Protein backbone atom coordinates (compact mmCIF):
# COMPACT_ATOMS: atom_id res chain seq x y z
CA UNK A 1 0.00 0.00 0.00
CA UNK A 2 2.87 2.37 0.86
CA UNK A 3 4.50 1.61 -2.50
CA UNK A 4 1.26 2.40 -4.29
CA UNK A 5 0.84 5.70 -2.43
CA UNK A 6 4.38 6.77 -3.36
CA UNK A 7 3.72 5.85 -7.01
CA UNK A 8 0.50 7.89 -6.94
CA UNK A 9 2.43 10.87 -5.58
CA UNK A 10 4.94 10.51 -8.42
CA UNK A 11 2.11 10.49 -10.97
CA UNK A 12 0.45 13.62 -9.53
CA UNK A 13 3.75 15.54 -9.35
CA UNK A 14 4.57 14.48 -12.92
CA UNK A 15 1.20 15.87 -14.02
CA UNK A 16 1.74 19.24 -12.32
CA UNK A 17 5.20 19.65 -13.84
CA UNK A 18 3.96 18.73 -17.31
CA UNK A 19 1.05 21.17 -17.01
CA UNK A 20 3.56 24.03 -17.23
CA UNK A 21 4.50 22.95 -20.76
CA UNK A 22 1.52 24.16 -22.81
CA UNK A 23 1.08 27.77 -21.65
CA UNK A 24 4.82 28.50 -21.43
CA UNK A 25 5.44 26.87 -24.83
CA UNK A 26 2.78 29.17 -26.30
CA UNK A 27 4.86 32.16 -25.15
CA UNK A 28 8.07 30.78 -26.66
CA UNK A 29 6.32 29.88 -29.93
CA UNK A 30 5.94 33.58 -30.65
CA UNK A 31 9.70 33.57 -31.40
CA UNK A 32 10.58 29.92 -32.10
CA UNK A 33 9.36 27.60 -34.88
CA UNK A 34 7.31 24.55 -33.69
CA UNK A 35 9.69 21.73 -34.66
CA UNK A 36 12.72 23.60 -33.29
CA UNK A 37 10.75 24.18 -30.10
CA UNK A 38 9.98 20.47 -29.73
CA UNK A 39 13.65 19.62 -30.31
CA UNK A 40 15.03 21.87 -27.57
CA UNK A 41 12.32 20.81 -25.09
CA UNK A 42 13.48 17.21 -25.31
CA UNK A 43 17.16 18.13 -25.46
CA UNK A 44 16.64 20.08 -22.23
CA UNK A 45 15.11 16.97 -20.67
CA UNK A 46 18.05 14.84 -21.83
CA UNK A 47 20.72 17.26 -20.59
CA UNK A 48 19.04 17.89 -17.22
CA UNK A 49 18.35 14.26 -16.35
CA UNK A 50 21.74 13.33 -17.82
CA UNK A 51 23.41 15.51 -15.19
CA UNK A 52 21.30 13.77 -12.53
CA UNK A 53 22.38 10.41 -13.95
CA UNK A 54 26.09 11.25 -13.48
CA UNK A 55 25.53 11.14 -9.72
CA UNK A 56 23.42 7.98 -9.83
CA UNK A 57 24.70 5.56 -12.48
CA UNK A 58 27.29 3.91 -10.20
CA UNK A 59 24.51 2.93 -7.80
CA UNK A 60 22.57 1.09 -10.51
CA UNK A 61 22.72 -2.66 -10.82
CA UNK A 62 23.63 -3.98 -14.30
CA UNK A 63 20.24 -5.68 -14.66
CA UNK A 64 18.50 -2.32 -14.20
CA UNK A 65 19.99 -0.97 -17.42
CA UNK A 66 18.43 -1.42 -20.83
CA UNK A 67 19.45 -4.52 -22.79
CA UNK A 68 19.22 -5.72 -26.40
CA UNK A 69 15.83 -7.24 -25.65
CA UNK A 70 14.50 -3.77 -24.84
CA UNK A 71 15.66 -2.33 -28.18
CA UNK A 72 12.32 -2.53 -30.08
CA UNK A 73 10.43 -0.71 -27.31
CA UNK A 74 13.24 1.84 -26.93
CA UNK A 75 13.26 2.64 -30.64
CA UNK A 76 9.45 2.89 -30.68
CA UNK A 77 9.56 5.21 -27.66
CA UNK A 78 12.12 7.53 -29.29
CA UNK A 79 10.42 7.67 -32.70
CA UNK A 80 7.02 8.42 -31.18
CA UNK A 81 8.60 11.06 -28.95
CA UNK A 82 10.02 12.74 -32.05
CA UNK A 83 6.61 12.96 -33.74
CA UNK A 84 4.32 13.67 -30.76
CA UNK A 85 5.83 16.96 -29.49
CA UNK A 86 6.03 18.31 -33.05
CA UNK A 87 2.29 17.68 -33.42
CA UNK A 88 1.70 19.30 -30.02
CA UNK A 89 3.72 22.43 -30.86
CA UNK A 90 1.83 22.74 -34.17
CA UNK A 91 -1.44 22.37 -32.26
CA UNK A 92 -0.51 25.05 -29.73
CA UNK A 93 0.76 27.31 -32.52
CA UNK A 94 -2.46 27.05 -34.58
CA UNK A 95 -4.88 26.92 -31.63
CA UNK A 96 -5.27 28.09 -28.05
CA UNK A 97 -3.16 26.83 -25.17
CA UNK A 98 -6.24 26.28 -23.00
CA UNK A 99 -7.91 23.98 -25.55
CA UNK A 100 -4.63 22.17 -26.15
CA UNK A 101 -4.29 21.61 -22.39
CA UNK A 102 -7.75 20.07 -22.05
CA UNK A 103 -7.34 17.97 -25.18
CA UNK A 104 -4.29 16.45 -23.52
CA UNK A 105 -6.71 14.23 -21.61
CA UNK A 106 -7.39 12.34 -24.84
CA UNK A 107 -4.07 10.67 -24.08
CA UNK A 108 -5.96 8.69 -21.41
CA UNK A 109 -8.23 7.28 -24.11
CA UNK A 110 -5.35 6.38 -26.42
CA UNK A 111 -3.22 4.88 -23.64
CA UNK A 112 -6.09 2.82 -22.23
CA UNK A 113 -7.24 1.40 -25.58
CA UNK A 114 -3.69 0.48 -26.59
CA UNK A 115 -3.03 -1.05 -23.14
CA UNK A 116 -6.19 -3.14 -23.62
CA UNK A 117 -5.35 -4.29 -27.15
CA UNK A 118 -1.61 -4.94 -26.79
CA UNK A 119 -1.10 -5.75 -23.11
CA UNK A 120 -4.58 -6.95 -22.11
CA UNK A 121 -4.78 -4.58 -19.15
CA UNK A 122 -8.16 -4.66 -17.48
CA UNK A 123 -10.51 -1.84 -18.51
CA UNK A 124 -13.38 -1.45 -16.07
CA UNK A 125 -16.86 -0.11 -16.73
CA UNK A 126 -15.92 3.15 -14.97
CA UNK A 127 -13.00 3.62 -17.33
CA UNK A 128 -15.19 2.97 -20.40
CA UNK A 129 -17.66 5.58 -19.13
CA UNK A 130 -14.77 8.00 -18.56
CA UNK A 131 -13.53 7.40 -22.10
CA UNK A 132 -16.98 8.26 -23.45
CA UNK A 133 -17.09 11.59 -21.59
CA UNK A 134 -13.51 12.49 -22.56
CA UNK A 135 -14.18 11.72 -26.22
CA UNK A 136 -17.30 13.91 -26.11
CA UNK A 137 -15.33 16.80 -24.60
CA UNK A 138 -12.59 16.33 -27.18
CA UNK A 139 -15.13 16.57 -30.03
CA UNK A 140 -16.47 19.82 -28.57
CA UNK A 141 -12.99 21.28 -28.30
CA UNK A 142 -12.14 20.25 -31.87
CA UNK A 143 -15.12 22.05 -33.40
CA UNK A 144 -14.89 25.71 -34.23
CA UNK A 145 -17.36 28.27 -35.56
CA UNK A 146 -21.10 27.75 -35.78
CA UNK A 147 -21.41 26.23 -39.21
CA UNK A 148 -21.66 22.45 -39.01
CA UNK A 149 -18.64 20.21 -38.63
CA UNK A 150 -15.80 22.66 -39.01
CA UNK A 151 -12.72 21.42 -37.26
CA UNK A 152 -9.83 23.30 -35.74
CA UNK A 153 -6.48 22.28 -37.23
CA UNK A 154 -4.83 23.13 -33.92
CA UNK A 155 -7.06 20.69 -32.04
CA UNK A 156 -6.53 17.94 -34.62
CA UNK A 157 -2.75 18.28 -34.26
CA UNK A 158 -3.09 17.97 -30.47
CA UNK A 159 -5.22 14.82 -30.86
CA UNK A 160 -2.55 13.32 -33.13
CA UNK A 161 0.04 14.12 -30.47
CA UNK A 162 -2.00 12.40 -27.73
CA UNK A 163 -2.49 9.32 -29.93
CA UNK A 164 1.29 9.10 -30.44
CA UNK A 165 1.91 9.53 -26.73
CA UNK A 166 -0.72 6.89 -25.95
CA UNK A 167 1.28 4.37 -27.97
CA UNK A 168 4.55 5.70 -26.54
CA UNK A 169 3.24 5.27 -22.97
CA UNK A 170 2.74 1.59 -23.65
CA UNK A 171 6.21 1.22 -25.17
CA UNK A 172 7.65 2.86 -22.05
CA UNK A 173 5.52 0.59 -19.87
CA UNK A 174 7.37 -2.42 -21.28
CA UNK A 175 10.72 -1.07 -20.07
CA UNK A 176 9.54 0.86 -16.99
CA UNK A 177 11.28 -1.62 -14.64
CA UNK A 178 14.63 -0.50 -16.07
CA UNK A 179 16.63 2.63 -15.17
CA UNK A 180 14.38 5.72 -15.16
CA UNK A 181 17.44 7.93 -15.65
CA UNK A 182 18.57 5.98 -18.70
CA UNK A 183 15.09 6.00 -20.24
CA UNK A 184 14.69 9.77 -19.92
CA UNK A 185 18.20 10.49 -21.19
CA UNK A 186 17.56 8.33 -24.27
CA UNK A 187 14.17 10.00 -24.77
CA UNK A 188 15.73 13.44 -24.47
CA UNK A 189 18.75 13.07 -26.73
CA UNK A 190 17.14 10.62 -29.16
CA UNK A 191 13.86 12.47 -29.63
CA UNK A 192 15.37 15.93 -29.32
CA UNK A 193 18.14 15.14 -31.78
CA UNK A 194 15.67 13.62 -34.25
CA UNK A 195 13.38 16.65 -34.05
CA UNK A 196 16.37 18.98 -34.49
CA UNK A 197 17.35 17.20 -37.71
CA UNK A 198 13.78 17.49 -39.00
CA UNK A 199 13.70 21.20 -38.07
CA UNK A 200 16.91 21.85 -40.01
CA UNK A 201 15.58 19.94 -43.03
CA UNK A 202 12.44 22.09 -42.90
CA UNK A 203 14.60 25.21 -42.94
CA UNK A 204 13.65 26.44 -39.48
CA UNK A 205 16.05 28.95 -37.98
CA UNK A 206 18.01 28.38 -34.79
CA UNK A 207 16.63 30.60 -32.01
CA UNK A 208 18.80 32.99 -30.04
CA UNK A 209 20.76 31.63 -27.09
CA UNK A 210 18.54 33.12 -24.36
CA UNK A 211 15.45 31.47 -25.87
CA UNK A 212 17.27 28.15 -26.24
CA UNK A 213 18.28 28.28 -22.56
CA UNK A 214 14.71 29.08 -21.50
CA UNK A 215 13.18 26.31 -23.60
CA UNK A 216 15.72 23.74 -22.40
CA UNK A 217 15.01 24.68 -18.77
CA UNK A 218 11.29 24.25 -19.45
CA UNK A 219 12.05 20.93 -21.14
CA UNK A 220 14.03 19.71 -18.13
CA UNK A 221 11.18 20.50 -15.73
CA UNK A 222 8.07 19.79 -17.84
CA UNK A 223 9.48 16.85 -19.80
CA UNK A 224 12.59 15.53 -18.03
CA UNK A 225 11.48 15.51 -14.40
CA UNK A 226 7.88 14.80 -15.39
CA UNK A 227 8.81 11.77 -17.52
CA UNK A 228 11.22 10.56 -14.83
CA UNK A 229 8.44 10.58 -12.22
CA UNK A 230 5.93 9.15 -14.72
CA UNK A 231 8.17 6.13 -15.44
CA UNK A 232 8.64 5.54 -11.70
CA UNK A 233 4.86 5.61 -11.22
CA UNK A 234 4.29 3.17 -14.11
CA UNK A 235 6.35 0.50 -12.35
CA UNK A 236 3.63 0.12 -9.74
CA UNK A 237 0.47 1.47 -11.34
CA UNK A 238 0.76 0.30 -14.97
CA UNK A 239 0.24 2.40 -18.12
CA UNK A 240 -3.52 2.93 -17.90
CA UNK A 241 -3.61 3.82 -14.20
CA UNK A 242 -0.66 6.21 -14.37
CA UNK A 243 -2.21 7.96 -17.34
CA UNK A 244 -5.43 8.26 -15.32
CA UNK A 245 -3.75 10.07 -12.43
CA UNK A 246 -2.03 12.22 -15.02
CA UNK A 247 -5.51 13.49 -15.93
CA UNK A 248 -5.19 16.52 -13.68
CA UNK A 249 -2.43 18.05 -15.87
CA UNK A 250 -4.80 19.51 -18.52
CA UNK A 251 -6.85 21.35 -15.90
CA UNK A 252 -3.75 22.89 -14.33
CA UNK A 253 -2.52 23.79 -17.82
CA UNK A 254 -5.84 25.36 -18.75
CA UNK A 255 -5.81 27.46 -15.56
CA UNK A 256 -2.27 28.65 -16.27
CA UNK A 257 -3.29 29.51 -19.85
CA UNK A 258 -6.02 31.84 -18.64
CA UNK A 259 -3.71 33.28 -15.99
CA UNK A 260 -0.60 33.84 -18.11
CA UNK A 261 -2.02 34.28 -21.62
CA UNK A 262 -5.39 35.85 -20.75
CA UNK A 263 -7.18 33.64 -23.29
CA UNK A 264 -10.91 34.18 -23.61
CA UNK A 265 -13.37 31.57 -22.36
CA UNK A 266 -15.97 30.57 -25.00
CA UNK A 267 -19.25 28.85 -24.17
CA UNK A 268 -18.10 25.75 -26.09
CA UNK A 269 -14.92 25.61 -24.02
CA UNK A 270 -16.94 25.98 -20.80
CA UNK A 271 -19.22 23.05 -21.76
CA UNK A 272 -16.24 20.92 -22.79
CA UNK A 273 -14.52 21.75 -19.49
CA UNK A 274 -17.52 20.46 -17.50
CA UNK A 275 -17.76 17.32 -19.64
CA UNK A 276 -14.03 16.70 -19.23
CA UNK A 277 -14.30 17.12 -15.44
CA UNK A 278 -17.06 14.47 -15.34
CA UNK A 279 -14.94 12.07 -17.41
CA UNK A 280 -11.89 12.68 -15.27
CA UNK A 281 -14.00 12.06 -12.16
CA UNK A 282 -14.83 8.57 -13.42
CA UNK A 283 -11.13 8.00 -14.14
CA UNK A 284 -10.10 8.98 -10.62
CA UNK A 285 -12.92 6.88 -9.11
CA UNK A 286 -11.65 3.91 -11.10
CA UNK A 287 -8.13 4.31 -9.76
CA UNK A 288 -9.48 4.13 -6.19
CA UNK A 289 -10.77 0.58 -6.76
CA UNK A 290 -8.56 -2.36 -5.97
CA UNK A 291 -9.29 -6.06 -6.54
CA UNK A 292 -8.55 -8.61 -3.80
CA UNK A 293 -9.11 -12.31 -3.48
CA UNK A 294 -9.35 -14.19 -0.18
CA UNK A 295 -9.29 -17.89 0.66
CA UNK A 296 -11.11 -19.23 3.71
CA UNK A 297 -11.38 -22.72 5.18
CA UNK A 298 -14.25 -23.98 7.32
CA UNK A 299 -14.41 -27.38 9.02
CA UNK A 300 -17.64 -29.14 9.92
CA UNK A 301 -18.74 -32.68 10.80
CA UNK A 302 -21.75 -34.75 9.91
CA UNK A 303 -22.91 -38.36 10.46
CA UNK A 304 -24.35 -40.82 7.97
CA UNK A 305 -24.26 -44.63 7.72
CA UNK A 306 -23.15 -44.75 11.35
CA UNK A 307 -19.90 -42.89 10.68
CA UNK A 308 -18.92 -39.36 11.55
CA UNK A 309 -17.14 -37.48 8.79
CA UNK A 310 -15.12 -34.32 8.97
CA UNK A 311 -15.14 -32.03 5.93
CA UNK A 312 -13.16 -28.93 5.12
CA UNK A 313 -14.81 -26.36 2.88
CA UNK A 314 -12.48 -23.94 1.16
CA UNK A 315 -14.00 -20.95 -0.54
CA UNK A 316 -12.43 -18.05 -2.29
CA UNK A 317 -14.04 -14.78 -3.13
CA UNK A 318 -12.74 -11.93 -5.16
CA UNK A 319 -14.00 -8.44 -4.58
CA UNK A 320 -13.43 -4.89 -5.58
CA UNK A 321 -12.40 -2.86 -2.56
CA UNK A 322 -12.97 0.86 -2.78
CA UNK A 323 -12.32 3.65 -0.31
CA UNK A 324 -14.07 6.99 -0.66
CA UNK A 325 -13.47 9.31 2.28
CA UNK A 326 -14.51 7.37 5.38
CA UNK A 327 -16.64 4.84 3.49
CA UNK A 328 -15.68 1.53 2.01
CA UNK A 329 -17.42 -1.37 0.39
CA UNK A 330 -16.99 -4.67 -1.40
CA UNK A 331 -18.48 -6.41 -4.41
CA UNK A 332 -18.06 -10.18 -4.07
CA UNK A 333 -17.79 -13.22 -6.29
CA UNK A 334 -17.42 -16.60 -4.63
CA UNK A 335 -16.29 -20.12 -5.48
CA UNK A 336 -16.65 -23.16 -3.19
CA UNK A 337 -14.47 -26.23 -2.96
CA UNK A 338 -15.35 -29.24 -0.76
CA UNK A 339 -12.63 -31.51 0.57
CA UNK A 340 -13.31 -34.46 2.90
CA UNK A 341 -10.43 -34.67 5.36
CA UNK A 342 -11.24 -37.88 7.32
CA UNK A 343 -13.65 -39.63 9.71
CA UNK A 344 -13.76 -41.16 13.17
CA UNK A 345 -11.95 -44.43 12.34
CA UNK A 346 -9.23 -42.54 10.36
CA UNK A 347 -10.14 -44.23 7.06
CA UNK A 348 -9.94 -42.09 3.90
CA UNK A 349 -12.92 -41.35 1.69
CA UNK A 350 -13.04 -39.86 -1.82
CA UNK A 351 -14.17 -36.30 -2.30
Band (pLDDT 50/70/90 cuts) for residue 208 is very high
How many DSSP H helices and E strands does the chain contain?
14, 3
pLDDT in tens, 264-308: 777 777 888 888 888 878 877 776 664 444 444 444 454 555 555
Task: List the chain domain ranges.
Answer: 2-287, 291-343
Between CA 189 and CA 183 the distance in angstroms is: 10
Lowest mean pLDDT among 15-29, 112-126, 199-213, 308-322: 308-322
- Supply the DSSP symbol for 108: H
Please check the confidence at residue 103 and state whether its pLDDT lies above 70. yes
Between CA 190 and CA 181 the distance in angstroms is: 14
Contacts of 229 by beta carbon, 8 Å cutoff, 6+ apart: 10, 11, 13, 14, 17
pLDDT in tens, 68-99: 888 998 999 999 989 998 998 998 888 888 78
Using CA atoms, how far residue 243 sits from 90, 229, 289, 342, in Å, is: 23, 12, 15, 53
Amino acid sequence: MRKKMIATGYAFLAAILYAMNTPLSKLFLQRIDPTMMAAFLYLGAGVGVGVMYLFHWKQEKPEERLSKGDLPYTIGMIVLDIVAPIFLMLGIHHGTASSASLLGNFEIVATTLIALMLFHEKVTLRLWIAIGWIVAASVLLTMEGTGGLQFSYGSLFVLLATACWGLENNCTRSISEKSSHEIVVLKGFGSGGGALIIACLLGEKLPRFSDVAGVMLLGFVAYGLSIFLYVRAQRTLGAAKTSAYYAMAPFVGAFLSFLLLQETLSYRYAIAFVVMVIGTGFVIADTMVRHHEHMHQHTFTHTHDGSTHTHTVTHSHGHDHYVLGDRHGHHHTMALYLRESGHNDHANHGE
